[in-house]
Structure 1
Amino acid sequence: MENKRKNIWKNATLSCAPMMDWTDRHCRYLHRLLSGQALLYTEMVTAPALVRGGALHLLDYSPAEHPVALQLGGSDPQELAQAARLGADAGYDEINLNCGCPSDRVQSGTFGAVLMKDPVRVAECVAAMRKAVDVEVTVKCRIGVDEQNPEEVLPKFLNDIQAAGCRRVTIHARKAWLQGLSPKENRDIPPLDYDLVHRMKFAFPDMHISINGGVNSLEQARTHLDAGLDGVMIGRAAYHQPTDILAEADSLIFGTGQVADPVEVVQKMVPYVERHLADGGRLHQITRHMLGLFAGRPGARAWRRALSEGAVHDGAGPEVMLQALECVAPMAEV
């Protein structure tokens, strides 16, 4: 356990945020081709869906995705423990508890960001999950919600989950406003407080603390790491500009590996696409995650158009991707 934890702590130096409707298994497979080191996260899977609903298909993933973490949503310690066990049995490298999502649906289930108001319950959940599995249990949270004073509530929250055995946490450096702001607005409007997250690292030196929110480049990530944080989690930028964030990550962040070529990545996706189609899947289920591969590069708009228009046709196969590649300028011309 200790060696595995040390390995995944290194992978967590850079991670891709869990994002509903985005970071599904096809997205993660693509991201893994771009970076062999970054830690990947599933979309949030609710504990009730797994335990009461029996939706075990939500745990499907490719072994190529490792290291990969399962993010769970829930607030019942025993139910979360059962869901965590299902995730660990499925082979996930980490189980993460969502304490940051502000959506109405999540609030109605009494989990997500609303749990920032009940750190004792979060600690109980963490303790129950840790007892149930051998893999590491981590938490993703906000700096606070609504009228809470982050300077007061965040240290208490971290102290409580640390006492329950949580050794690694990712902090979205914004408050969540549970009333008055949509989930989308909650990703942009509340101001970022990076300094507070950095101070938490000083206050909790034994915890592995990653920062999340507003990081759009590896240069920004490097700034946070150089200032003492243990990790950086990137969300929308990693999805919309995956090559910019992930292709050089192994070299610039981890000091290992080569820079991935997005053209080669597309070619490596062909066998994956063929297997998905053979299993009854549709091309667009995969290619919708590939639209930003050439963001900022000549031909990127034509690539997106060719891929998005061609992938939805009945019988569309990998030839759509390969034809769309003809729209993109070779690397030597960039």
Structure 2
Amino acid sequence: MKRKSVTSRDVARLAGVSQSAVSRSFSPNASVSDKTRKKVMEAARELGYRPNTIARSLITRSSRTIAVVTYSLENPFYTFVLERASRFFQKQGYHLLLFFAPSDRGFDSVIEEIIRSQVEGVLMLAITLDTEQAETVADFGIPVVIVNRTVNYAGISQVGCDNHRGGFWAGSYLASLGHRRIAYLAGLEDSSTNQQRYEGFVAGLASRGQECHAVEVGNYRYLDASQATRRLFAAPSVPDALFAANDLMAIAAMETLRHELGLAVPEEVSVIGFDDIPMSTWPSHSLTTLQQPVEQMVVKATELLLEQIAHADTEPEHIMLPVTPMLRGSTRRPGGAGAEAAPETD
């Protein structure tokens, strides 16, 4: 025998409240007393009731769904961002749909699926867009915020950090420690973060009268970075310092240097990363790095997206937040042989 479906009217009758009170009890941030909500939840559990969110979205014309698009969660920085964003949106009564866009095809590979999903907004984590793609996204009328990437287009909100300043500090600081063969371990070559960090790095070296010794590409991935490190240190003239475009690659480089190549970090090679993921603080890594203000980035991005969802005429914003150098044990100590005055860390 087919079981009769339980309705909100059944829950209201058992709880002794109105049907609208049942609806409010299942709506985050709705006005309802704790006493009423408790009675409704007890009645719902007893009857086995679950609200029909699809039916509700048809009535309210609101899916309460946000699309999160990323190319990978290998980098712990993005799992951290995703966790914080998820907690924020859940408190506001939104559900998240996660989409993966391969780095070689980008947003084009998922845009049709996102549109079919009837999401109310899109949060992009490290997705690279060109100007034409950005214009296409804006034309669909779905609010979009990009986190940790920039695009030369004013019509989409963007939240990131001062990558150029961080790269400048890394180049200048390594040179100030007395290093003379300072290499760069690149991320995804066409990504704005990689380009800005590299340009800043080169400028920082130039401020100390130096040039970049060598470049290899690690694609922001652990295995790729390990292979890139092997290539750097198989060359006739090997680096004595390395700036990696993210912490995951910096950690891969340090482990390759120590455990495969038998080189001491930082005595023979100094290493700097970028992000300040939790692993960078572990004693076995003790990575000198540039800290991105992840909490601020998440708050700014999620607030911007919800504001655009609530008010269609909200103007897009481009927000750049500062980075903070975190000095640890993967770099030489200032004041050693050949060292100069260290650069400012503000």
Would you say same fold, with TM above 0.5?
no
Structure showing the higher helix proportion among its residues: 1
TM-score by length of structure 1 reads 0.26
TM-score by length of structure 2 reads 0.25
Decide which structure has the larger Cα Rg and report it.
Answer: 2
